[in-house]
Amino acid sequence: MTPAKTPQTMKPATAAKKLGVLLDATPADFQQGTVSRTELDELLATPPEWVVQLRLNGPHPRQIVASKLGVTISGLARGGVTEPLTTAEIQDLLAKRPEWLVRERATQAEVRREAARVKQLNEEKARKAAHLARQESQRAAAASN
């Protein structure tokens, strides 16, 4: 007989991160307990009103704020954003376009362009290497005949 499997559980901080919500804004009972994988799947499939409202209005965790602003978490820190922001505060920043946000978004865009360029270069090198390998294989096959 195999022993009964214990359900996999996680800390509330991990569950909040997977839900995309700020732990400090969640209900007290969520913050103080553990969350099983089954409970998390249920929260993801049919989120309760508090999850829906936190996702819509915030306050949002740093990674969500950074994503919505189109910058990195480090860019937020350089811009002086150290606290969680609500959706309204994020929209206000996007409307006002402070100098740090413009600079960080430009930096992020340049990083993405460079990553795309490097990816394309690597794909081209891989195609050439595959082509040369096929040619060498064909030469070896022709030489053995």
Q: How far apart are the first and last CA of the chain?
A: 61
Can you give the length of the chain in residues?
Answer: 145
pLDDT in tens, 11-67: 999 999 999 999 999 999 999 988 899 999 999 999 999 999 999 998 999 999 999
The reported pTM is 0.72
Tell me phi and psi for residue 20, to 5 degrees. Answer: 75, 30
Write down the mean pLDDT value for the chain.
91
Check whether 1 has a pLDDT greater than 80.
no
pLDDT at 11: 92
pLDDT at 138: 87
pLDDT at 124: 95
pLDDT in tens, 59-116: 999 999 999 999 999 999 999 999 999 999 999 999 999 999 999 999 999 999 999 9
Q: Which two tokens stand for residue 46?
A: 């049919």
Q: Which two tokens stand for residue 105?
A: 């978004």
Distance CA 84, CA 110 (A): 26
